[in-house]
Amino acid sequence: MMLLYVLLLPLVVTFLTPLMRPKLATAVSAVAFLIPFAYTVYGLASGLVVKIPVVDIVRPIGKFYILGDQVSFSFALAICLVSAMVALYSLPYMAHRFEEMGKELESEYRKYIFFYNLYATSMLWLVFSGNFIMLYIFLEISLLASFLLIYMYGYGDRRKVATLYFVWTHIAGMLALIGFLMTAAANGSLAFDAIAKIGFVAWLLIFLGMIIKLPGLGPHVWLPWAHAEAPTPVSALLSPLTVGLGAYVILRAYLISPWFIKAYTMPIFVYGVISSIYAGFMVFRQNDYKRLLAFSTISQMGYCLIAFCLGTYGIMAVIIQYISHAFGKAILFMTAGGIIANYHGLRDITKMGGMHEYIPTISNAALLGFMNLGGILTVGMFGEFFILKGVVDTFGLDISAILAVVFVFIISGLYSFYTYKRIYCGKPAGYEKVKVNRLLDTPLFIIGIVSILLIFPPLAAILLNAVKAVIAKVAIATIGGVAP
């Protein structure tokens, strides 16, 4: 029952924080996610598997239950840490944003912190849902909360951008929902432990819906607008956490009935490679810092599509990539916000250069963020290793497959450090050095330090224990998951 109490904590806090003053609301929100973070570490370290019944609904929906396994705990690890740190970051950043908008901090922050906590809490509950309809409910709550945050506090034509975001991601959810309902009709339940198979059309709809949400090349058109124009704390959740939950939904379907991915391995693999390379090259063309990071997200999500095609080690790479991308991209969006808050909305990279001279703490945090994206001395190293191991296991010594994946890695490293050089190195652009609010840089370093500690004992051992558990789960799914 401890897992239930841990999940209820941020939910209760969501409704209490609007009654508090901003500083207290911020602190309480951070603690409400740090406690579940500690529990996820315990769950991973102990190999914990928890199933807590919630309610049994009539067929074909089936029972709702809370499922805590190594997959859930791995995704929750990133969600909890990033949500806690972004909550701390939110106070000074949103104070700056409210001042820009001519709004009063005390009253406006009450609305902001409510929707922020609702957004983060819905993502946490989503990864512990043991039923596809239960999962869908929290997916839609996260969509509604993030839509309202962009609509109320975004930049540019924020209402138009918020609507664009809502429409595209709602289409993604509806396609997946139709796939879920078809699965329910075929199996008599949508509880994970009661589904025997997922049919072709249902799998295709779920997959296409989550391709829009990730997003892959083609349906990606909504993402640069939404991530660039969202208030930066929302971008720091939207890019690293929310879009990656598309991979989580595909992963849950895979662990039940993996035949679809196995049957279409090559086209999915090629699509993932093309998506990643295309978006990687698009990063080089961007001059808006936040828009640049949005294209980087598309590139990084290509890693997940590639990894799905690579057997057991590839599936583990999906999880590691989610964690690595969550940490790295949250840091980087918050560095963009640090520049925006301290230099009057500055986002144009052509007007930057030598920013390390003026905001060294933000610059050093950005380096940690780009190290995560490049898989250098951070948890992302494991992700790249598992992908390469999966390529060899799946394709043997096929030089074209190996070179394609290595080229994807190289592009990520190149655009990461090319961007860092453009913004933080070189001749100073002539700005004044500022005193950065500690809540605008300290949370970034905490995330960065955790991302490094995850490659050393004892945290590395905890992650490798999760690897073994997931590999065993994939092996079981592969035996039972035949095409209908």
Instruction: Work out whether the CA dihedral 332, 334, 337, 338 comes out positive or negative.
Output: negative
Query: What is the rounded CA–CA span in Å between residue 63 and residue 34?
Result: 29
**252: CB partners within 8 A, 6+ apart:** 71, 132, 135, 192
Query: Residue 220 is encoded by which pair of tokens?
Result: 């990606």
What are the residues whose beta carbons fall under 8 Å from the beta carbon of 197, sequence distance 6 or more? 186, 187, 257, 481, 482, 484
Specify the DSSP class assigned to residue 216.
-
Do 305 and 272 contact (CB within 8 A), yes or no?
A: yes
Q: Which pLDDT does position 59 carry in this prediction?
A: 86
Q: Does residue 267 have a cis bond before it (omega within 30 degrees)?
A: no
Q: What is the pLDDT of residue 479?
A: 62
Residue 481: closest CA among 280, 261, 270, 152: 261
DSSP symbols for 359-397: -HHHHHHHHHHHHHHHTSSSTHHHHHHHHHHHHHHHHTT
At 481 the pLDDT is 57
Q: How far apart are CA 360 and CA 250, in angstroms?
A: 40
Closest CA to 154 of 284, 290, 338, 34: 290
For residue 366, what are the contacts with CB-CB under 8 A and spacing of at least 6?
Answer: 331, 332, 335, 420, 423, 424
The Cα–Cα gap between 232 and 248 comes to 24
Model pTM above 0.75? yes
Q: Supply φ then ψ for residue 195, to 5 degrees.
A: -95, 120
Contact status, residue 385 vs residue 460, Cβ threshold 8 Å: no
Residue among 266, 250, 88 at smallest CA distance from 179: 250
Q: How far apart are CA 35 and CA 8, in angstroms?
A: 11
What are the 10-residue block averages of pLDDT along the chain, 484 residues in total?
Answer: 94 97 97 97 92 92 95 95 98 96 94 98 97 96 96 95 95 96 96 95 97 90 92 90 90 94 95 96 95 94 94 90 94 97 94 94 97 92 92 91 95 95 92 93 97 91 77 69 52
In whole angstroms, give the CA distance from residue 104 to residue 94. Answer: 11
Residue 201, pLDDT score: 97
SS3 for 51? strand
Distance CA 246, CA 123 (A): 11
The alpha-helical segments, DSSP class H, found in 47-131 are 70-101, 105-127
Structure tokens belonging to residue 422: 């453009």
Q: DSSP string covering 287-301, please?
A: -BHHHHHHHHHHHHH
Check residue 461 and give its pLDDT: 82
**Domain boundaries, given as residue ranges, for the chain:** 2-480
Q: Which two tokens stand for residue 353?
A: 């250069």
DSSP 134-201: HHHHHHHHHHHHHHHHHHHH-SSSHHHHHHHHHHHHHHHHHHHHHHHHHHHHHHS--BGGG-----HH
Residue entry with tokens 């849950």: 252
Q: At what angle do helices 399-424 and 289-308 cross, to 10 degrees?
A: 160
Q: What is the CA radius of gyration of the chain?
A: 21
